[in-house]
Amino acid sequence: MNNTIDKKVTSSGGFLFFYNKEEGNIFVILIKNKKSEYWIPKGKLENDESQVDAAFREIKEEVGFGSDKIKYIDFCFLDKYIYEDEGKVIQKELYINVFEVYKKWDPTPEDWNNIDNVCWYKYEDAFNLISFNKDELIKAQNIFKKYKNIS
């Protein structure tokens, strides 16, 4: 890979958590893409869109939950990396946020283009499944637990 950046891409998304108080379990939504990789809902920022607004929009498109079903808790992490795609060097910035889902609704994605499945997973299962961002999942869960006062 050469050192010249051909394109910069900024994306935003987030971890969506639901806490079942009766069971004492934290659940996370993960998206399984067409390559069988497990991800968080995320996507590119549009013109003049804040990273938080982009995260809300992407969650709505990929999970089906609008701002009436989720609450923004906090910023978690900015992931920066470089990769090659079709001979071009891409610099990617991914803003990762933490959200609370008010109820464990069934996901209903609006856009199935790159999505194979969207499901709730217990935190431990999500940690074992997620393809990338394991450290960020740990950090996001800690932010969520602090917000909810869960020990």
What CATH number did the domain enclosing 70 receive? 3.90.79.10
Lowest-confidence range among 8-12, 81-85, 92-96?
Answer: 81-85
pLDDT band at 1 (very low <50, low <70, confident <90, very high): low
Q: How far apart are the first and last CA of the chain?
A: 45
In a domain, 2, yes or no: no
Q: What is the pLDDT of residues 95-129, one digit of tens each?
A: 999 999 999 999 999 878 889 999 999 999 999 99
In a domain, 1, yes or no: no
CA distances, 39 to each of 3, 47, 104, 112 (Å): 28, 24, 18, 14
| Segments forming the whole domain that contains residue 71 | 7-148
CA–CA distance, 151 with 139 (Å, rounded to integer):
14
Structural domains counted in the chain = 1
Across the chain, what does the average pLDDT equal? Answer: 94
In a domain, 12, yes or no: yes
Mean pLDDT calculated for residue range 15-33: 96
Total-model pTM = 0.92
In a domain, 41, yes or no: yes
Structure tokens of 12? 């935003």
Structure tokens of 108? 């209903």
- 133 has a pLDDT exceeding 80: no
- Cα Rg, the chain, nearest whole Å: 15
Residue 83 CA to its chain's centroid (Å): 19
Mean pLDDT calculated for residue range 126-149: 94
Amino acid type, 149: N
| CA neighbours closer than 13 Å in the CB half-sphere of residue 67 | 7
Burial (Cβ within 10 Å: 0-12, 13-18, ≥19) of residue 121: middle
